[in-house]
Structure 1
């Protein structure tokens, strides 16, 4: 994908999320396309993504800001939250010494998770020495239900857009608050293309503090919202 000149001028930062489905995508191609961060799947439930270690290491080596995510499974799907958190912590430990990314809780499973379960999952990570960066979800996932306030909010909302998808801009209605919380990241399409692979693309808006603030967000260094 080519980032539009207006998005670059406005200071918007874009990035991708990765999992085993993009195994083989060279993160250097992501950086060459103008993207500045990669959020890599650590686990799906208690399933450890086999591409995590390579993708995380190569993304960091390519100069991308690194994040991680955990597709949080409802306990009714087969594994307790504590078992899932153990698997996530083990994945992060494989990165070795040095700074580690915070972990986003990917909340999209059915049956739907409750706010209490999401907060519990964040606490289980903290008990294992893993920072929670925040929560990934659609606007409709928490419609008419209480939404947990943990770290940042990474919103998934894909408006109809052309091929190849262009970033709709920092003034798009998708940036409006969800239950009073403005998104920190917006995943604006699932139809991006980088290095021959289809990828999800997300944006960090201009005026939000630039790359230093993005790095803090991805590291899970934001306070919980009241």
Structure 2
């Protein structure tokens, strides 16, 4: 059995997670942070959307060798990256020693590195080191063309394609086989996993700690109301539905603006009264 997933970031801002799932994709890899200077603004939205429909999701950190490992992990944590991580280790990442230093820094902070995007071209560039202990190797090999992910995967050789060829004494567990797959109206990176959904979730784990999951649920409840049905104490719209805090605030702003206009009208009338 082969499952398909997508790799997204702020470059795909606005993409529909529910549509990704509806098109048959089984998981999402989404960017959380980069170096010690960037928290991806789309991560929390993607995370909430995936959690709302029980679509497995894991965040990734783009490694930069010129940033201290501990500082990179702090950036991840500040972005609410989760208990499990994928390291994106390619251009700018440094040598294999930099990779292991970053893995150690994540582990020291209580974050498990479960996937390692370390493409063969970069592995060769840094001297073809041993990768036998690298957690969850993710390989890259792109065929020509764009279009449906299943068609691209088949054209690239499918379950016998070059992306599954071992390197560095490690067997890739995930193959990123395209950067031009048509998904939910956008062109995205697409991945393949040879296994079932239970094996996939065992690999990437639950991306949030229980505390983070509860915090996310609390935020959802406050913004949308229990079960996303609004709050009855805030009133109802013209269709009889409960208002959310955003709906109520919008109504309040409209009321205040109307009162302000009335006050200005009264001031004008008072100013021009004869003495």
TM-score (norm 2): 0.67
Normalized per residue, the structure richer in helix is 2
| Distance change (3 Å), C-alpha of 1:33 and 1:220 | closer
**In the alignment, is residue 187 of structure 1 matched against residue 176 of structure 2?**
yes
Structure 1 match to 2:8 = 18
Deviations 1:108-141 (A, max 9, x none): 123x521111111011111111111131021121
| Distance change (3 Å), C-alpha of 1:139 and 1:176 | same
**In the alignment, is residue 197 of structure 1 matched against residue 186 of structure 2?**
yes
1:143-162 alignment to 2 at 5 Å?
A: 143=124, 144-148=127-131, 149-161=133-145
CA distance in 2, matches of 1:69, 1:85: 11
Structure 2 match to 1:74 = 65
**In the alignment, is residue 38 of structure 1 matched against residue 28 of structure 2?**
yes
Contact 1:101 1:218 in 2 (8 A): no
Q: Secondary structure at the match of 1:42?
A: strand
Segments ≥4 residues shifted beyond 6 Å: none
**In the alignment, is residue 139 of structure 1 matched against residue 120 of structure 2?**
yes
What is the RMSD computed on CA atoms of the aligned residues?
1.9
1:207-226 alignment to 2 at 5 Å?
A: 208=195, 210-219=196-205
Contact 1:122 1:150 in 2 (8 A): no
Aligned-pair CA distance for 1:201: 0.4
**In the alignment, is residue 52 of structure 1 matched against residue 43 of structure 2?**
yes
Aligned-pair CA distance for 1:51: 0.8
Q: Give the number of aligned pairs.
A: 198
* Bigger RCO (CA 8 Å, 6+ sep): 1
Structure 2 match to 1:83 = 71
Gaps of 5+ in 2: 208-275
Contact 2:163 2:176 in 1 (8 A): no
CA distance in 1, matches of 2:147, 2:14: 23
TM-score (norm 1): 0.81
Deviations 1:74-108 (A, max 9, x none): 11xxx322111111122236xxxxxx452111011
Structure 1 match to 2:165 = 176
Structure 2 match to 1:116 = 97
